Structure 1
């Protein structure tokens, strides 16, 4: 992750590309994230998509989570948390529930979207913990912008 001024953060979230098929479900659609809508409009002049930390608005964060979970239930059924190996899944979402761009803020009339997917709970919670460390150590305040860059 980088700050809006382009400088690197002090605690990047490591990639999880070595976690194949972490959803643990037999449905072929689980291999893809489900997009609610097309496109994204939160971009700076360099085309980077900006997220903004939502710290104080706990009702918004909770609404983002509820919306994402509802999308997981809609696309993978109410048992999306159940895995064949006995472990459990969480509903992973992007943009994160802790942002002002989260899934609850998306409407049918918007161009931007969100994505959800069942992923192994332990993996999702580890990455969530690292995101929390990043925003705390880099002193991101409510409303502060940051970017997420996917690395191959």
Structure 2
């Protein structure tokens, strides 16, 4: 197994264990993370996001598959089952991740998933009807980023 594939495996094993410190240890200090909800997060903000999500999770189940990596890039697919705390609704988020590596660590991490599919599950009828609409996506992102800022201020 390529060392970078093992690094991705270690990252998701830490995630499955809700070990945000273990996840962050896989990241380069200049990490750039992006996804459809949080947008782009750099450096300590990326690690804080994982710490916040792991800390809030009560029933998180993470399964990873399709890990593949070489010297410069890698990819994986992961599924997360959890209860969305704001609505109490069950979610299965199916995510494709891409990675770039630097100095033996993850330097770029981009998660992609269907926001509409996620919104349908997490937000119920509102997500079903408006999950495709940019204003709902912007509202969800703004709420997530406010939560991250509050979390970081409290740490």
Q: TM-score, normalised by structure 1?
A: 0.25
Q: Which has the higher contact order (CA 8 A, sep 6+)?
A: 1
Q: TM-score, normalised by structure 2?
A: 0.25
Kindly indicate which of the two structures has a greater share of residues assigned to helix: 2
